[in-house]
Structure formats: structure tokens, C-alpha cells
Amino acid sequence: MDDILKYINNNEWEKAIDKLKSENMLNKSITGAGNILHFACIRGNEDIIFKLVKDKDIDILKRNKSYENCLMLLLKNGWNDIAKKLYNKYPELLNTFDDDRHTPLNYARQDIFEDMVDTIIKNKMTYIFDYRNNKHRSILNHLIDENMDVSIIKKICKHANINKFTYMPFLHCAVAYQKPEIVKVLLECGAEVDLLSKNDSTALSSITKFRNLTLELEDIIKILVNNGANVSMVDYSTQETIIHWTIRIGNHDILKFLVEHTTKYNVPNSWGDTYAHQLLMGFVSGIKNIMDKELIIQIVKNTDINHRNVNGYTLYDIYEGLAEKTNEFDYLKEYIKKQNDEIGKINMTLTKVPKYPRWNTSSKMDPIYILCLLKRHKNLTVPINKNTDDEHNMQALLTQMQNFPDNIIGRANVKLFSSIDLYSAYQRINKYMLSFRLIWKSNDDCIIDRNFDTSMIECFKSNRRFVFLNLTMVFDYGLHSNGILIDKKRKTLMRFEPYGFVNRNIYKFDMMLTQRIADISKEPYKCIELTEFEDYRLQHFSQEYDRTITKQGDPGGYCHAWVLWFIELIVSNEDEDLHFVLKNAYDKIVTGYKGWHDSLLEFIRSYAYVLDKEKNKIFDELNISDYKYNTELSDDVLEVINKYCSEEINKILN
């Protein structure tokens, strides 16, 4: 191709074209920069460009080594007038991608951008506005970042799907870049004010990630709240609401504004502190936030005085410490009375283990834990999987698994498992699980074994009142355990989430499963949403950026220990009011471990330690001596465990 390059460099384009046509190489790349059309675009030779694109032998969509086509090269090199003529004549060029999945819109400079947008709208190609690049960012994300004119952003918003679920929805993006004018435009164009991001944050709750309150954030808070944003939403990452955050940074005016827009005062943060807890503890520690008496009284008098934080302290406990330092807050005395210290009688043993015991979290240990629960509770049963070697069933599961996209741990950028790996994992679980494990990933991706209904029928024939189901939730950062408890007497189904909540979409799964249980039992069943645990978050988040939260987080796997504890708690107090049981269980934990580093963490470690002792006792009976934490047991050993548990569970249930 040296002679072709020589012709081009000597501006002898016609000779270059004739030679390439004679050799039928018009689309052939001359260098990595591309073919002759690409060279003409790089150099801005309008006459040659339009002569070439008229030639039926030239492929105008062809890309060079960098996956850039002729339009992208014109825009990249600043030949905007030529580019405008080209895409108006050949609008299909606008619907193309480079290697990073950028469209020509990403190449356009401000002086041509609006015309390109108008051309896309005129040619009814607005789906281009919804394209995502390799980093899950659309053109709107890019514009918000690049300070593009708001009128152009508004024009795109009217035609784009601005509520399409992404890693960071557009409203969140505008908040992140502190652009109140864009927040306003997005809401005017129909953006859902409480749309959840991938990490279960709303646009308003995501503000809690900021260290300071700027004037722009003040405007954004007012815009969002005036458009109906939920001020009581706890942010997934920071584990606090916008009101907690405002108290923490000490802004009276915004706090007053937010309080005017809430009816919920008992929402706790990750430490179990309500707004009143946080206010009073701030005063105790000498943080003199500028708050007027009326505002403080309003918050305190609407708060449950008996609510305990994770350290076991009620408002009265904190107020006592405050009163010892100053009489400045005597005006609160009539609103903060000493509570009744008698905690209701519920069946729950607190076992203190001073060290930090490790717990074998492998799902293959579940038959042992299930066996122990069934031995202790004669009112509990589980659906038994009697078809672990059913190849047809496993093939059906494989078909479902293929719909599960690959899961990536974004922060570590490490591949966790692919759909086929998940199938393999489930195959192993299925082989060594005696009770069924349901798997949920999203609204459309949930896996329930086809033998599940048959086994559930046996549970409904049993005189045991409660049915326990394991639920594994699949997230980008790993697997998470929930527990489902079916009460045949009350005709209810409840799902226990140790975090209080993880993903609001799971509620659709709850309703689906409740209906399926009703169909199997041929009786109406009601789904109980355990909103109690949105107020009492027993397990802390351990995957967050905030180092204080990370220190506070439970070690991986304790979610399943919390699930087993919850099942035991409810079946041990079967006829008590659910609210009473949950509140008193929480109070017992935080008072029983009061003064410890973290009452909830110490408690669940102690409970897990008891479970593990029971497991090790069975290991002794089976002459299994390796008690190592999370040890990988051989298939032969697992067969021994499974056979033993199967025989014992069948004795109990039959």
C-alpha cells in the first residue's frame, strides 16, 4: 500500500482511487488508520469523501482498527461542517458504535451537538439516546458530567428513557455532580424521584455520601423533597437517612425543612440511633448544633422513648448523661420519662462467648444445622429433596441458569461466577442438600426446583405447624441468605432479611411465592412484610466504602446464622404477637451485651458458636476430625454426612 499512501500524501486522490478500484480494494485498510475513505475524513477532503460515499463499492459503515467509522473520524478531527452534511445524507451513520460502544454523539463538540440531536429526533432514531457504553453510561450521563447546555439536555430527556435502570440513574448522576438545574429538568421530564440505583439508593438518600452541604446540595434537597422524595429512605451504602446526615453535619434550616416533610421519627441508622438519639448524643459529646428548642421538642416527642440503639441505650439513658453535664436541656424532661425496664418474657437464650469464634458457613453444612433445628423444635418441618439425582430436573435448572448473566464484583473487578458455574454450584448444593434452596436474582430471575411443589404437599400433610425454606440471593458482590417461614396455622408467609432490606424488588418475589404456596395448599395465604427489621437491622453491611461501617460489619456468612436464629425465635414463641417478639428479642440482645464492642455482632457470633459446637458433635459421632473453618470436605465425607442427616431427619419427620 506504499504507492497508495504516496498518492494520498501528494494529494493525488483520484490516482489512489483508480488504483484501488482496479484491484477491487476500495474497502481495504491502507494502514491501521483505515481505508481511503477514512484517510479522506481524517484530512477533511470533502470532495473526495462525497465522491467515495456515492460509489456503490464503498462501505460507509466500515470501521478502522480503532472501530471508528468515517463520521466519527470527521467529528474527532473537527471537520464538523462536513460531518453535518454526511449524517444528514446518511443518518444510519449515527446508529453506530466504536470499540467502547460510544456513538457519534460522544464524538460531537458543542457547536454541532444540538444539530445532531435534532437529526436523530427527526429521523425517529431516539433509541440512540438510551444506548450504554462499556461503562454503563449513556449520552445523558456524559452530558451531565460535561456541563452541556441544559436546554439540550432537556431536549434529550423528552425522548430518552430516563427511568431505565442503570448502575447510576440520571437523577442520581445529576445529584452526584451537584447540578440542581438538571435535577429539576429530569423531574419535569418524568424522572421517578425515588427510583433506586443498583445499590438501592434513591437520589435523595445518595446525598448522605457527601461530606459537606453545599448551596447546590441545599437546592437539590429542596427540589427532590418538594417533588415527593422519601426523606425516610435509608441509604444502602451509608446506612442513614438524609435526616440523620443533616443532623450529623449540623444544618438547622435544612433539618427543619426535612422534618416538616416526614411523619416517621423512629427510623434508625446502622447503629440503631433514631434522630432523637443522634441529636442528644451530639449534645452530650459537646457538638453544639444550632437547633431551636421547638425543633428538638418536635423530634423528641414523636420518637419512641423506649427504642434502644445497638449499644442498648434509650433516649432516657442518653438524657441522663446530658443532665449530669448541664441543665440547659431541662425543657426536655417532660418529654423523656424513664421507661419500664422489664423486657417481655420470650424464649431466647443469650450465650456469651468472650472470644470471636469462627463458623463454618458452607451451605453443605446445612443438613446438620437443619437436623439440629428439627430436633429442638417439634413444630418445625422442611420440604425434603428426594430427587437429588434427577438428571431431567438438573437439565431444567440449567436452562434457567443460562438466563443468569455473569456476576462481577465491581469494586475488586474479579469474576465471581458465570451462569454455568452457578449451575455447577447448585448441582453440588442440590446433591448434598436435604431441604430445598430457592435462588433469587431479580424480578425475572428466580429458580425453584420443579420437585418443590410435591415436597411442599408433604409438609402441608404434616402436623408440624411451621415450614422453613432457605433462600439464596445472588448479588454482584456475592451470595446472601434469607429465610422463609410458613405458618400453617395463621396462613402466613414471612421472609426474614438480616439487613432489614436489600432490594425492594424482592417484594415481588414474596408475592409470587405466597401465591404459589396458596396454590399448593389450596388455601389463601397472606405475605407478611417484616418491616420490623427495617427498624431493627440485625446484620450490618460489610461491603461498604465507609471504614467505620466496615469495622462494624459482620464477617461473611453470618447472614445465614441470623436466618437460623430468626427461625428458632419465631417457632419458640409461636403464639406471641410478632411485633412483641421482634422488639423484645432486639432489646434482649442489646441489653444482654450492653457495654460490649458491638452487641449484635457479639450475639450472633455466640449463637453461631453454639451451632458449630452441635455440628462438631455430629462430626465426632461420624469420626470426622477436621473442624477447620470453612474447610472443603471431600465428596466421600459429604456423602457420609448427608446419609446420616437424611436418616435422622426421616426418623424425626416420619
Given a cut of 90, is residue 118 above it in pLDDT?
A: yes
Taking only the tens place, the pLDDT of each residue in 561-574 is 889 999 999 999 99
Q: Return the pLDDT at 103.
A: 95
Query: Averaged over 375-388, what is the pLDDT?
Result: 84
Given a cut of 50, is residue 422 above it in pLDDT?
A: no
Structural contact between residues 285 and 322, judged by C-beta atoms closer than 8 angstroms:
no
DSSP state of 209: G
Structural contact between residues 306 and 297, judged by C-beta atoms closer than 8 angstroms:
no
Q: Return the pLDDT at 600.
A: 80
- Taking the alpha carbons at both ends of the chain, their separation in whole angstroms is 83
| CA–CA separation, 653 and 459 (whole Å) | 9
The 3-class SS string of 36-97 reads HHHHHHHHCCHHHHHHHHHCCCCCCCCCCCCCCCHHHHHHHCCCHHHHHHHHHHCHHHHCCC
Amino acid letter, 573: N
Is 318 part of a structural domain of the chain? no
Q: Return the pLDDT at 49.
A: 94
Q: Return the pLDDT at 319.
A: 87
Using only C-alpha atoms, the chain has a radius of gyration, in whole angstroms, of 31
* DSSP string covering 230-255: -TTPPPTTT-S-HHHHHHHHT-HHHH
439 DSSP β-pair partners: 447, 472
Q: Return the pLDDT at 495.
A: 92
When mean pLDDT is compared over 284-298, 342-356, 388-402, the highest value belongs to 284-298
435 DSSP β-pair partners: 384
Taking only the tens place, the pLDDT of each residue in 191-233 is 999 998 877 789 999 999 999 999 999 999 999 999 999 999 9
Q: Return the pLDDT at 547.
A: 38
Instruction: Identify the residue with better confidence: 469 or 634.
Output: 469
Instruction: Identify the residue with better confidence: 189 or 438.
Output: 189
Find, among 35, 40, 33, the residue nearest to 12 by Cα: 40
Q: Return the pLDDT at 338.
A: 67
* DSSP string covering 303-347: S-TT---TTS--HHHHHHHHHHH-STTGGGGGG-PPPP-------
- Confidence band, pLDDT 50/70/90 cuts, at residue 435: low
Q: Which of 133-142, 403-412, 626-635 bottoms out in mean pLDDT, i.e. has the lowest?
A: 403-412
Query: Averaged over 143-149, what is the pLDDT?
Result: 84
Helices (H) and strands (E) in the chain, counts: 29, 9
Is 185 part of a structural domain of the chain? no
- Confidence band, pLDDT 50/70/90 cuts, at residue 411: very low
Q: Return the pLDDT at 532.
A: 64
Query: Averaged over 260-279, what is the pLDDT?
Result: 90
The 3-class SS string of 491-549 reads CEEEEECCCCCCCCCHHHHHHHHHHHHHHHHCCCCEEECCCHHHHCCCCCCCCCCCHHH
Structural contact between residues 52 and 40, judged by C-beta atoms closer than 8 angstroms:
yes
Given a cut of 60, is residue 388 above it in pLDDT?
A: no
* Last residue of one domain, picked from the residues 101, 133, 161: 161
Q: Which of 355-359, 367-371, 454-458, 523-527 bottoms out in mean pLDDT, i.e. has the lowest?
A: 355-359
Instruction: Identify the residue with better confidence: 544 or 63.
Output: 63
Query: Averaged over 52-76, what is the pLDDT?
Result: 92
Length of the chain: 654
Q: Return the pLDDT at 423.
A: 46
Is 355 part of a structural domain of the chain? no
Query: Averaged over 261-282, what is the pLDDT?
Result: 89
Q: Return the pLDDT at 389.
A: 54
Q: Return the pLDDT at 340.
A: 53
Find, among 604, 548, 496, 529, the residue nearest to 271 by Cα: 548
How many percent of the chain have pLDDT more than 70? 78
Pairing between strand 466-475 and 380-381? parallel
Given a cut of 70, is residue 551 above it in pLDDT?
A: no
374: cell is 428439627
Taking only the tens place, the pLDDT of each residue in 294-319 is 999 999 999 988 888 878 888 888 88
Query: Averaged over 360-375, what is the pLDDT?
Result: 81
Domain total in the chain: 2
Q: Return the pLDDT at 603.
A: 82
Given a cut of 90, is residue 109 above it in pLDDT?
A: no
Burial of 316 (0-12, 13-18, 19+ CB in 10 A): middle
Is 605 part of a structural domain of the chain? yes
| CA–CA separation, 60 and 70 (whole Å) | 7
Q: Which of 96-110, 275-289, 308-322 bottoms out in mean pLDDT, i.e. has the lowest?
A: 275-289
- Confidence band, pLDDT 50/70/90 cuts, at residue 38: very high
* Last residue of one domain, picked from the residues 161, 180, 204: 161
How many percent of the chain have pLDDT more than 90? 41
Structural contact between residues 345 and 616, judged by C-beta atoms closer than 8 angstroms:
no
455: cell is 415436597
Which residue is listed with cell 434513591?
Answer: 202
Is 242 part of a structural domain of the chain? no
Find, among 355, 284, 272, the residue nearest to 314 by Cα: 272
Structural contact between residues 79 and 41, judged by C-beta atoms closer than 8 angstroms:
yes
Q: Which of 257-271, 301-315, 430-444, 605-619 bottoms out in mean pLDDT, i.e. has the lowest?
A: 430-444
* Last residue of one domain, picked from the residues 141, 161, 181: 161
Q: Return the pLDDT at 352.
A: 55
Q: Return the pLDDT at 353.
A: 54
| CA–CA separation, 593 and 570 (whole Å) | 21
Is 205 part of a structural domain of the chain? no
Question: Would the pTM count as exceeding 0.85?
Answer: no
Given a cut of 70, is residue 378 above it in pLDDT?
A: yes
Mean pLDDT, all residues of the chain: 82
Find, among 219, 195, 192, the residue nearest to 206 by Cα: 195
Q: What is the CATH number of the domain that holds 16?
A: 1.25.40.20
Q: Return the pLDDT at 628.
A: 55
When mean pLDDT is compared over 109-113, 363-367, 430-434, 485-489, the highest value belongs to 485-489
Q: Return the pLDDT at 183.
A: 97
Q: Return the pLDDT at 413.
A: 26
Amino acid letter, 233: M
Give SS3 for 449: coil
Q: Return the pLDDT at 414.
A: 28
DSSP state of 384: B
Taking only the tens place, the pLDDT of each residue in 592-603 is 766 656 778 778
Is 23 part of a structural domain of the chain? yes
Structural domain harbouring 24: 1-161
Is 115 part of a structural domain of the chain? yes
When mean pLDDT is compared over 99-113, 427-441, 529-543, 589-603, the highest value belongs to 99-113
Q: What are the two backbone dihedrals, phi and then psi, of residue 91, each rounded to the nearest 5 degrees?
A: -60, -20
